[in-house]
Structures are given as structure tokens and as C-alpha cells.
């Protein structure tokens, strides 16, 4: 099980290394993970994404790589936890709610690209 997932810091490090070895320091921007403090990524996908970053970095006239992580399904359901904490730092009450968040789709990042190579599997086959 250990090798099935890549921890978030290692994922980011791998992507940065893939760009830096071909373009130099400061040549990659990773967006969409700013609010995550911890996560585990599929190791197989991590490797594929790492290879894609390197492929882009090796492209003619490329000076910077931008990696944006966004939900694939535009509407995601989230639980909202509202907690009341007293002066001693103890949780007194919690209310659970739910909210759907409608995310922008990949077109906002790819509309200006001359070429888009969609390597994603069909939904449900990942």
C-alpha cells in the first residue's frame, strides 16, 4: 500500500524537479493546491503528470510551465462544519451543512492553447 500514493509535498517536489531540470529555477507555477495542507495523490497519476511536465518543459520556446489542479466534475458537494469553540478552546457545538460548489471547467485554462492533448481516461475509468 505504501507505493500506491504520493504525499502532497512529494508530489509538488516531483513536479518542480521535472520543470527545473530543463528550464531552471522558478520555471514552474503550481495552482489549485494552495488550500491543501495534506493530501495523497495516486502514484501512477503522479508519474504521468511528472512526465507531462517534463514533456512541456522540453518544448520549443517554452520558458515556464503552469500546472493547474481543478476538479474534473464541475459540481462538487462539500460538507460544511460550523463549530463553536469556548474560551478554553473546547468545542461546544457543531452544525453540519452541505453546499454544492460549481467550479469552472478546463476551458478557462485551455481556451488560448493552440494544441490540447487530452490524455484523461473516460469518467469512471481512472
pLDDT of residue 95: 95
Let me know the angle formed at the C-alpha of 77 by 72 and 83, rounded to the nearest 5 degrees. Answer: 135
Domain limits, the chain = 1-70
* Residue 23 scores a pLDDT above 70: yes
Is pLDDT at 2 greater than 60 in this prediction?
A: no
Average pLDDT over residues 108-126: 90
More reliable by pLDDT, 90 or 43? 90
Q: Which of 100, 116, 96, 98 shows the shortest CA–CA distance to 108?
A: 116
- Split at pLDDT 50, 70, 90, the class of 84 is very high
Amino acid at each position: 500500500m505504501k507505493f500506491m500514493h504520493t504525499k502532497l509535498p512529494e508530489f509538488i517536489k516531483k513536479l518542480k524537479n521535472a520543470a527545473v531540470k530543463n528550464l531552471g529555477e522558478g520555471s514552474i507555477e503550481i495552482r489549485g493546491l494552495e488550500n491543501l495542507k495534506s493530501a495523497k495523490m495516486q502514484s501512477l497519476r503522479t508519474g504521468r503528470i511528472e512526465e507531462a511536465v517534463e514533456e512541456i518543459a522540453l518544448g520549443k520556446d517554452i520558458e515556464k510551465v503552469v500546472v493547474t489542479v481543478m476538479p474534473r466534475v464541475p459540481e462538487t458537494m462539500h460538507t460544511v462544519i460550523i463549530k463553536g469553540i469556548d474560551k478554553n478552546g473546547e468545542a461546544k457545538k457543531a452544525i453540519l451543512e452541505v453546499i454544492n460548489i460549481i467550479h469552472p471547467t478546463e476551458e478557462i485554462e485551455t481556451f488560448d492553447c493552440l494544441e490540447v492533448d487530452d490524455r484523461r481516461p473516460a469518467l469512471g475509468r481512472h
